[in-house]
Amino acid sequence: MSSHPDQEEIVFAVSFWYTITMNKFIIIEVGSTNTKPYLVEGDNITELPIKPIHFKDNYRKSGKILTSDKQELFDLVEKLRTITPNIFVYGTSIFRNLSNKECAAWLKEFKTATGLSFETVTADMENDYTVHGVTSGINYSGRLAVMIGGGGSTELAIIENGQTVETINHGFGAGDITHAFPDLAGDRATSSFDQVLDHAKGLASPPQSQADLLVLAGGDYLMFYETLGYPLVRNSFYTDQKQPFQIDAATMHACDQDFFYKTSLNDVIERAGNEQWWRGTRGMRICVKTIVDLLDAKHIIPSRISMVYGIARDIGNRK
């Protein structure tokens, strides 16, 4: 009898190794403003601490991806290797806008520095991945919209009977609004809310359809609402542990007005930390209000859902 393993034994051994090692992996979402790592263990997805790296702002100022920003990302990858060697890295809006030459150079540099591949996610892919996270666990047959808010882009998907019927990918995000109105990052805003909102609406493309129900995804909206005490109520449209609450549009707008002009952002940051993230939140509120108005949405469901849910699904399917 041969002492060498046969093909069936080899396949079993490889499958067993893959199942054990790939049951735990990290997905890194590299955005225009924030880099967000997630630990995936089976069906559980845990958000790890966000790393603010202002790729888009710094690219806008310098005309290139800064060496210092690259190094921050490389260092983060090395730090996360202490958790698991299985790391998958995906870039969003800023990386979509690189020229072919810039993109090729970046992919080569990233591979050399980390030994990992860097995948740029198109806006349509980001929509699909995030919509999966919103709709896969719910029983809802009506129409709803999903807004994916980011620092440099705002994606919108309209879902009807569980199917995507329309998508719009906007090339602006919270960082762009804050860049145009820097006072939004200050202790209290001074710009007119309506003026800032009109500016954002001028950048947006109106959807063909409207939706009463809007799900906010792509960021930690729950943490934002809970930290500031927005009066959330139980989600009455469907049951999903990732989407437990809702707020009506009129109440949200009144709370946003308080957040702009009455709330001390410095006090919030002192209490909650994560200064760079919070400095961009008024810009994000404008993005949210823009989409709410374009949809004529009546109810908003804040969530922590991101494209990581769809990516985790695809990585799992590779098994």
Domain ranges for the chain: 7-121, 139-305
How does pLDDT run across 194-252, given as a tens digit for each residue? 999 999 999 999 999 999 999 999 888 999 999 999 999 999 999 999 999 999 999 99
According to the model, what pLDDT value does residue 34 have?
86
According to the model, what pLDDT value does residue 7 have?
53
Burial per residue of 19-39, b for 16 or more beta-carbon CB atoms within 10 angstroms, e otherwise: eeeeeebbbbbbbbbbbbbbb
Looking at CATH, the fold of the domain delimited by 7-121 is given as Nucleotidyltransferase; domain 5 (3.30.420)
Beta bridge partners of 257: none
Other CB atoms within 10 A of residue 134 CB: 26
The C-alpha atoms of residue 87 and residue 295 are separated, in whole angstroms, by 37
CATH annotation of 139-305: 3.30.420.150
According to the model, what pLDDT value does residue 22 have?
58
Report the SS3 class of residue 241: coil
According to the model, what pLDDT value does residue 161 have?
86
Indicate the pairing of strand 118-120 with strand 143-149.
unpaired
Please report, as a single letter, which amino acid is at residue 12: F
Other CB atoms within 10 A of residue 238 CB: 16
Q: What is the mean pLDDT of each run of 10 residues along the chain (319 residues)?
A: 49 42 85 90 89 89 94 97 96 89 95 96 90 90 92 92 91 94 98 98 95 94 96 96 96 98 98 91 98 97 93 82
The C-alpha atoms of residue 291 and residue 201 are separated, in whole angstroms, by 9
Shared fold status for 7-121 and 139-305: yes
Tell me which DSSP letter residue 182 carries: G
Give how far Cα 13 sits from Cα of 16, 87, 247, Å.
Answer: 5, 22, 51
